[in-house]
Amino acid sequence: MNEVRKRQQAADDFYRVNDALQAYTRETGREPLLTGGWEVEDPAIGPPAGLVERLWHIAPQPGRYAYGKEFHQAKARAAEVLQAGVRLAGRPMCAEQVAVLQNSSQGLLLALTALRERGARQVVIAAPTYYATVAVCQHLGLEITLLPAADYLTGALDMPRLARALKRGQSILILINPAYSIGVEYPRQQVQALCALAGEQGAWVLLDETRLGLHWQADRPWYAGEFSERTLILRSPSKIFLLNGMKTSFLLGPAAVIHQIERLSEALVGSTVGNAQSIALAYLDAWHAWLREVQQGQRGAMRAWKQSVVARLQHNRDLVGAALEELGFSLSPVDSGPYLLAGIPRKHLPALDSVTIAQAYGVLLLTSNYFYHWNNEWWGFRVNLCGDARRSTQALMRVLSGKLCC
């Protein structure tokens, strides 16, 4: 836990960074530059037109109570669509193994709460990870073991250390795939081997794959995997389809645990919006159309959309990456998703204070400290490839000019 506390300060400082960015805007009248943020700023990147059209026509139903346990149609449809890539305990998915949730943060909270009720007391987190993962575990009183990646730029898993950590009693392994904010998808065989190992140790696995789907080479929305019955898988099409205003997530796992999670959702989260099932079905149909195109070897609207988004992400990587490499930075070998990690040996650049940078330059520099990704030899930060590449390059040059050492 001491290691977690030591690294917590950087994540907590993010609130001070946001305050500093707002102060910069008030004092200068200029909008901040969010090099490592979350928003889609590039007009060439957007959600599938057909999906947006369908969501636009879903009636809001503001007077209706709705709970995930009632979404029988969405649960059945999710099992039908996702069984092409997920088998639990050697069997195809069924509706009872799917929970329909509004967002991935709810999924994280409810899954960990359910597993704590089942006796789990320790969480092993494979870094990099995001702030909410650690925060939820702390609030639930779970003992946290945070294990750094074996390699800074690739986020490679430290398999021996993870294996040793899972031997210590009733535990939960949390793995974010693709590696959070690095843009590298873990090999399917490695993910499955780790899940199998955890199962042998009597541990649970919470596999957070909310950003799985935008692979840079493969056109498929996901890989085919066999998972043990002690695995929970979280997936969020709204993240993949770049729609933040109408979210949905799916949590997959053993039927008994899913039932428990739905009970907890009603008690802890309450009702959801009345049209939540219709929203979930729209995402599932888009996922299914994409999968069908891949299976039939056709380039329809969904594959064309996905290839267009990836091509633009690669274009932005090339623009921003060229400037960073000229300054001596190394780039993560991105193969999935909208993020890039830029790193440089600490001897060439003293660690920069993100609060000071926000106050002085109006730039959000999301250092790897914020996703618990530390290395004594390297310093680095995240670049959002959905952002405006020219504005990002301008911001980085503004911050880094004159600060690099030979």
**What is the rounded average pLDDT for all residues in the chain?**
91
Give the count of beta carbons closer than 10 Å to the beta carbon of residue 304. 12
* 96-105 per-position pLDDT tens digit: 999 999 999 9
Structural contact between residues 240 and 221, judged by C-beta atoms closer than 8 angstroms: yes
For the ranges 68-72, 192-196, 311-315, the lowest mean pLDDT is seen at 192-196
Mean pLDDT of 43-53: 97
In the predicted structure, residue 10 carries a pLDDT above the cut 80: no
Whole-angstrom distance, CA of residue 181 vs CA of residue 170: 29
Average pLDDT rounded to a whole number, residues 277-283:
97
Question: Cα(94)–Cα(254) distance, rounded to whole angstroms?
Answer: 10
Q: What is the DSSP letter of 59?
A: -
Residue 2 has pLDDT above 60, yes or no: no
Residue identified by tokens 């008994």 is 256
Q: Which two tokens stand for residue 242?
A: 């770049």
277 confidence band (pLDDT: 50, 70, 90): very high
| pLDDT per position as a tens digit, 73-98 | 999 999 999 998 899 888 989 999 99
Question: Of 33-37, 248-252, 342-346, 371-375, which range is least confident?
Answer: 33-37
Res 182: pLDDT: 96
Helix (H, G, I), strand (E, B) or coil at 393: helix
